[in-house]
Amino acid sequence: MIPRHLLIGVAILLIITLGMSLYVWRMRGRVDGNEMSSANTQPVAPPVSGPTEQVTLYVAYDDAGVLRPKTVRIPLPAGRQERAAEMLRALLNLYLDKFSPHPLGAGSEIRDVYLVDPGLAVIDLNAAFADSHRSGVLVEELTVVSLIQTLSANIPGITRVKILVEGNERETLAGHADLSNFYDVPAISQVVAQLQNAQ
């Protein structure tokens, strides 16, 4: 027969163990909830005001390996630089849709676009854009060409484009597309023509 004081001691230890397990489980739930709320602390850009205008976005289609123009109407601000950024954000919104023909990673954003005279545009992407981008020669090329062609087709006078990530140079987008050099817009236009003829 087991002594009574031993049974009481085991019962107390069992109750303490269950209580501690419940406490740890509740604390873990609180930590997970705090992580989720802190993950959504990115500032939300104010809505763009201004008249809607027709622009041409050059949309990449991964399955066919092509680029196709798509005409859309979006609100655009008056400033040339702000207009450039909004056009690229409209393109990214297409890519971030769950039915996108060229999906990008969640959180991908255009931080800003800088128009530097004469004819130089600098596209600044956020880290999530590059870090979550799928790796592959064609997929990366389609992204780069899509951004540059959309920008140059809608903002006259751009002859060269530089792509940065978080304001810094980066060797490649996701291992293939070279981001260390400037892109020549006429050369990109020839690539676009080839990608459109591939249809």
Q: What is the mean pLDDT of the chain?
A: 85
pLDDT (mean) for 51-58: 90
Task: Give the Cα separation of 19 and 27 in Å (integer).
Answer: 12
Task: Decide: 78 and 53 in contact? Cβ < 8 Å.
Answer: no
pLDDT (mean) for 162-179: 86
Distances (CA, A) of 121 to 47, 68, 107, 169, 184: 23, 22, 23, 14, 11
pLDDT band at 126 (very low <50, low <70, confident <90, very high): very high
Task: Decide: 150 and 110 in contact? Cβ < 8 Å.
Answer: no
- Which pLDDT does position 35 carry in this prediction? 55
CB atoms within 10 A of CB 179: 20
In the predicted structure, residue 37 carries a pLDDT above the cut 60: no
Which three-class secondary structure state does DSSP give residue 173?
coil
What is Dmax (Cα atoms) for the chain? 95
Task: Give the Cα separation of 61 and 56 in Å (integer).
Answer: 16
pLDDT (mean) for 32-50: 53
Task: Decide: 181 and 142 in contact? Cβ < 8 Å.
Answer: no
Which residues make Cβ contacts (< 8 Å) with residue 103, sequence separation at least 6? 62, 95, 96, 134
pLDDT band at 38 (very low <50, low <70, confident <90, very high): very low
Better-predicted residue by pLDDT, 74 or 137: 74
pLDDT band at 83 (very low <50, low <70, confident <90, very high): very high
pLDDT (mean) for 81-109: 92
- Which pLDDT does position 110 carry in this prediction? 93
pLDDT band at 49 (very low <50, low <70, confident <90, very high): low
**Candidate from 16-25, 64-73, 96-105, 107-116 with smallest mean pLDDT:** 16-25
Which residues make Cβ contacts (< 8 Å) with residue 8, sequence separation at least 6? none
In the predicted structure, residue 55 carries a pLDDT above the cut 70: yes
Task: Give the Cα separation of 102 and 62 in Å (integer).
Answer: 6
pLDDT band at 144 (very low <50, low <70, confident <90, very high): very high
Torsions phi, psi for 138 (to 5 deg): -70, -45
Q: Is the dihedral of CA 23, 29, 33, 39 positive or negative?
A: positive
Q: What is the value of pTM for the model shown?
A: 0.72
